[in-house]
Amino acid sequence: MKIQINAPNVDVPEALSEFIESRTHEVLGHFEKHLTRVEIHLKDQNGDKGGVDMHCTVEVRPRGLDPMAVDHTAESEADAVRKALDKMKSALDRRLGRLSER
C-alpha cells in the first residue's frame, strides 16, 4: 500500500508526515491487501485568516474497484487527517463487507 501526501499550499513538517503515515497504517492497515494506493490531500482553505479551514481528502484505490474518497474539515491538519481516515475506514468496511457477502 503506497501512501502519497499532496499538500500544495500547506507546510508539511516531517513530524506531520510521519503522523500521517503511521495513522494511515494504523487505521487502514488491515485493508492493505485490498488497496494499491492511499492519497492524502491537505488544503488550507482560508490561508492566513485562520478558523476551521484545514481540509483533508483521503482517496483510496481498491484493487479491481473504482476509487473511493472521503473528506473532513477541521482546525488542525492532524484532526482533519484523523477524522478523514476514520471516515474512510467506515466506507471501506461497508464496501468490502458487501463484496464479501456476495
**Is the pLDDT at 102 greater than 60, yes or no?**
no
Give the mean pLDDT of 65-72.
96
pTM: 0.89
Q: What integer pLDDT is reported at residue 9 of this predicted model?
A: 82
Range of the domain at 94: 2-101
Q: What is the pLDDT of residues 18-57, one digit of tens each?
A: 999 999 999 999 999 999 999 999 998 776 666 558 999 9
* Domain count along the chain: 1
**Is the pLDDT at 100 greater than 60, yes or no?**
no
The pairs formed by 38-42 with CB atoms below 8 angstroms and a separation of 24 or more are 38/1, 38/2, 38/3, 38/4, 39/3, 39/4, 39/5, 39/6, 40/3, 40/4, 40/5, 40/6, 40/81, 40/84, 41/6, 41/7, 42/5, 42/6, 42/7, 42/10, 42/12, 42/77, 42/80, 42/81
CATH number of the domain residue 32 falls in:
3.30.160.100
Q: What integer pLDDT is reported at residue 97 of this predicted model?
A: 79
